[in-house]
Amino acid sequence: MIGPVNHAALFPRLSAVVHHGAAGTTATALRAGVPQIIAPHMFDQHYWASRVRAKGLGPAPLSRYFSSDALSSALRETIGNAAVAHRALSMAAPIRASHGAQRAVEVLEQQVSARGRAQSR
């Protein structure tokens, strides 16, 4: 285990990312264009793990209390799999081009501004 790390800087250097499946980590791995192995624990992590699998961007999710054998198997299934790597890489460019966070800020600013105008009337 490691402490805090800049995922956006680290993930593009990896062959695959093993993580818990939170939305932000999943999105960062998608933008990096690398396959993902997810071990979801709670809430939306199960959803993101199933979407990664459905899109062919990684293997079936690991259980919360996975064994070293299960992780080894998932790594063997993922690393070196040209089809998975290609799918992950092909999804990265459109996601990076979408500027989703910037667009979300713009929408929120519009909503706050509109609400402010409505309250001042």
Domain borders along the chain are 7-119
Residues of the chain with pLDDT under 70: 120-121
Burial of 116 (0-12, 13-18, 19+ CB in 10 A): exposed
The pLDDT score that the predictor gives to residue 72 is 97
Residue 82: Cβ within 10 Å count: 7
The pLDDT score that the predictor gives to residue 121 is 65
Alpha helices by DSSP H, listed for the chain, are 7-10, 23-32, 45-54, 68-78, 82-98, 100-119
The pLDDT score that the predictor gives to residue 26 is 97
One of 3.40.50.2000, 1.10.10.10, 3.40.190.10, 3.90.1300.10 is the CATH number of 7-119, namely: 3.40.50.2000
The pLDDT score that the predictor gives to residue 3 is 85
By C-alpha distance, which of 63, 56, 91, 92 is closest to 77? 56
**Terminal C-alpha separation, the chain:** 55
